[in-house]
Amino acid sequence: MKKILALTLLSVTLAAPSLFAAALTLTLEGGGGGFGPYTSGSGGEFTFGISDPTLIASGYVSGAGGTKNQVTTPVANSFQTFCVETGETISHNGVYTATLNDHTVLTGTYLNKGTAYLYSQFVTEGKFGTTLGLYNYGANRTTTAGQLQNAIWAFMGQGGQTAANNALNPFFQAAVAAEGGTFALADATVAAGFLNVSILNLVDSSGINHQDQLIYTPGPGNNNVPDGGMTVMLLGMSLTGLGFISRRIRR
């Protein structure tokens, strides 16, 4: 009974405003000034190590040229991601609590269809609607990383990127085509979990917010993380044994 009560309280805590929290460590290895081997300018790909391997979804591609476990230290479990908030910073040796959400903290910008489409295609090494695919996961990876980051910023209204100055960006074009055919339709806001993509709000140990990132978390049987009290309760109950409960609830 005590365990059930503990899990129920956990699920209530998770109900607002997020679905989970986990300790993330930005990796130090692989070039890119310590932000990962594939960074482009001030943007992604960023390489984050995550302390709990169960929080990295199966949708990420492993192996050389993949989207997870491209480096092994300081945390063996890592994933590739992109920035969605340029008004904040991250540190190459920063340790953060990451909260899964549907919007950024600093500007309150919500996840949209275009951003979710782009990141979901990147993570799963999809072809972005083309025959041969657009993203170069090989030798010139940083070039396409820069293009994809700019397209994501254009949809999120960040980094000075707009629909106008990304009109010839192939990733931007692919997202517009896939999500309705116009920028307005592709820019429509969605809930966390759309196409299995959500926003990570990062907070350091002093409670200071840092640069928001993206994460891919496929749920069983569908492409969205549904909301509602029962779903959150079930999610909370599924976290048994993952280290989120550090002490028993006493009478």
Please give the Cα distance from 102 to 199 (Å, whole number): 6
What SS3 state is found at 202?
A: strand
Q: How many other C-beta atoms are found inside a 10 Å radius of the C-beta of residue 227?
A: 15
Note whether residue 80 is domain-resident: yes
Note whether residue 242 is domain-resident: no
**Is 0.95 topped by the overall pTM?**
no
The residue written with tokens 């943007």 in the block is 43
Note whether residue 96 is domain-resident: yes
Measure Cα distances from 150 to 95, 193, 219 in Å.
26, 22, 28
Long-range pairs of 130-135 with CB within 8 A, sequence gap ≥ 24: 130/174, 134/170, 134/171, 134/174, 135/171
Would you mind telling me the total number of residues written for the chain in this entry?
251
Note whether residue 30 is domain-resident: yes
Please give the helix or strand (H or E) that residue 229 lies within, else none: helix 229-237
Note whether residue 85 is domain-resident: yes
Total tally of structural domains belonging to the chain:
1
pLDDT value at position 159?
95
Radius of gyration of the chain (CA): 18
pLDDT value at position 52?
75
Note whether residue 244 is domain-resident: no
Note whether residue 145 is domain-resident: yes
pLDDT value at position 22?
65
pLDDT value at position 234?
26
Please give the Cα distance from 217 to 223 (Å, whole number): 9
Note whether residue 245 is domain-resident: no
Q: Name the residue range of residue 174's domain.
A: 19-235
The residue written with tokens 């085509």 in the block is 177
Q: Please report, in tens digits, the pLDDT of each residue of the chain (251 residues total).
A: 433 222 222 232 333 344 556 667 777 666 677 889 999 988 999 999 887 777 776 799 998 999 999 987 777 888 999 999 999 999 887 889 998 999 999 999 999 999 999 999 999 999 999 998 999 999 889 999 999 999 999 999 999 999 999 999 999 999 999 999 999 999 999 999 999 999 999 999 999 999 999 999 986 433 333 333 322 322 232 222 323 323 333 44
Please give the Cα distance from 239 to 223 (Å, whole number): 20
